[in-house]
Amino acid sequence: MRLRLGSSSLATLLGSAAFSQLILIAASPLLTRLYSTSELGLFSVYLSAAMAVAVLITLRLEFAIAAVRQDGEVMPLLVLIGAVALAMTLLAYAVVLAGTVGDAPLIASPSLRDLAWWIPLGALAIAGNETLRYVAVRRRRYRELARSGVARSVTQVGGQCLGAVLRADTVTLIAGQLFALGASSLHLVGRAPGGRVPLLARLREQLPRLRAVLAQHREFPLLMAPLGLMNTLSLYLPNFALAYHYSPAFVGLFAMAQRLIALPMLFVGKSVAEHYLGEFASAVRTDPAGAVALYRRYLRRLTAVGLGVVAIAALPGREVYRVLLGTEWGDVAPLVTCLSLGYAGQLVASPLAQTLVVLDRKAWLLWWDGSRLVINLAIFAAPALFPIAPFDLVLAYSAAMLLAYAALTVVIHRAITAGEPSPAGPAP
């Protein structure tokens, strides 16, 4: 079996990811003139919360889609994911209700209380889209993944910009994002073999098997859900912490820096991860030696790209961002430079972390994510103990990210060279 890193499918995913992010970045000067720094900051807090809750909505059962051995096991797994998502969404709304009503609500800020009601819906939309993308990954339908990603960016920008004509606030930003997720998901469902109606009929046939399927894949809720929650909290903790310690305006600056440097690398890394997961899982089953070679090629190429990103991010200065985004956005420049260090490390290591899932080393990921979360919590608790400038806090966070992802590559290398563990999934 010959595995090529430069395959046309990977080129399609990377090209679509780059184009999708180009759309979002190109729209930034318009968004910064339609929305204030505080409104964009509040939107980043909502998005961080929705991403964290999305992990719990499906209990990470979507990861099992790529790991199961037989295609016939996918449909009952999808039914289970749907049932769990419905139950967890209702539970999330119960939590929001408990935290926003009464004479002394747990969420003190009125603006955050209003946003809280959107979080379960946003989490459900994110989790549903992720599940459909994993189905496409298993079937190696990379062109559909690419098209859905572009459709998501176009509809999000269009919805947020057109919505600002009627009402320019944080809710409009949220509505635009939800509309984009819905359009992307409908594209993936519409392209499923057999169409929408036969798909729903097959889903109903699998309802009696839910308990057995859950028992078969219980390791994903027990290990991958806590792992995913810790990973998401580690990534999005800055938005919560900065909103607590500093002004909403600084949170808005940080959110824009993420849009310009972090989010593009996250989307490119995600596209690489989707291709790598599909190819590596297949190689482990059919050609273990080819799987090791595939991993090493990805590691070399991603490292080169990460170093290039750091060099490019340091070029624009404050005046460039003032011209592009507006006079109040000049301080985005040092934030982009600081964040490029940590997110370059993430670009290299995060796509390859799926290696530990396929090799059934999920507990290793759990320990790594737990350690990283503890370090990040310590960093963002620092302003409560002694004065620290917000830019210095961001630099410390980025440096900790870089070191954490360097440690993750060491863990992955140890797993892939420590023999040939059995692929994840039920015994044949």
Q: SS3 letters for the chain? A: CCCCCCCHHHHHHHHHHHHHHHHHHHHHHHHHHHCCHHHHHHHHHHHHHHHHHHHHHHCCHHHHHHHCCCHHHHHHHHHHHHHHHHHHHHHHHHHHHHHHCCCCCCCCCHHHHHHHCCHHHHHHHHHHHHHHHHHHHHCCCHHHHHHHHHHHHHHHHHHHHHHHHHCCCHHHHHHHHHHHHHHHHHHHHHCCCCCHHHHHHHHHHCHHHHHHHHHHCCHHHHHHHHHHHHHHHHHHHHHHHHHHHCCHHHHHHHHHHHHHHHHHHHHHHHHHHHHHHHHHHHHHHHCHHHHHHHHHHHHHHHHHHHHHHHHHHCCCCHHHHHHHHCHHHCCHHHHHHHHHHHHHHHHHHCHHHHHHHHCCCHHHHHHHHHHHHHHHHHHHHHHHHCCCCHHHHHHHHHHHHHHHHHHHHHHHHHHHHCCCCCCCCCCC
Contacts of 387 (CB under 8 A, 6+ apart): none
Q: What is the pLDDT of residue 52?
A: 87
Count Cβ neighbours within 10 Å for each residue of 400-426 and write b for 16 or more, e otherwise: bbbebbeebbebbeebbeeeeeebbbe
Contacts of 57 (CB under 8 A, 6+ apart): 84, 85, 88, 89, 92, 123, 124, 126, 127
CA distances to 32, 80, 188, 275 from 239, in Å: 18, 32, 31, 29
Contacts 24+ apart (CB under 8 A), 66-70: 66/134, 66/137, 66/138, 66/277, 66/278, 66/281, 66/358, 67/281, 67/357, 67/358, 67/423, 67/424, 67/425, 68/425, 68/426, 69/285, 69/423, 69/425, 69/426, 69/428
Please give the Cα distance from 328 to 250 (Å, whole number): 11
Q: What is the pLDDT of residue 297?
A: 83
Q: What is the pLDDT of residue 22?
A: 78
Residues of the chain where predicted confidence (pLDDT) is lower than 70: 1-15, 67, 69, 71, 101-111, 190-217, 262-271, 274, 419-428
CA distances to 40, 314, 350 from 320, in Å: 20, 12, 30
Q: How many residues does the chain have?
A: 428
pLDDT digits (tens, 9 = 90+) for 40-99: 888 888 988 898 899 889 888 887 787 676 767 777 778 888 888 999 999 999 988 887
Q: What is the pLDDT of residue 207?
A: 56
Please give the Cα distance from 24 to 154 (Å, whole number): 8
Q: What is the pLDDT of residue 341?
A: 86
Please give the Cα distance from 241 to 270 (Å, whole number): 25
| Tokens describing residue 374 | 């503890």
In 3D space, the residue among 196, 203, 159 whose CA is nearest the CA of residue 181 turns out to be: 159
Is the distance from CB of 371 to CB of 316 less than 8 angstroms?
no
In 3D space, the residue among 42, 35, 39, 36 whose CA is nearest the CA of residue 113 turns out to be: 42
Q: What is the pLDDT of residue 118?
A: 92
Q: Residue 78 is which amino acid?
A: L
Q: Does the model's pTM come out above 0.85?
A: no
Q: What is the pLDDT of residue 124?
A: 94
pLDDT digits (tens, 9 = 90+) for 328-346: 888 888 898 888 888 888 8
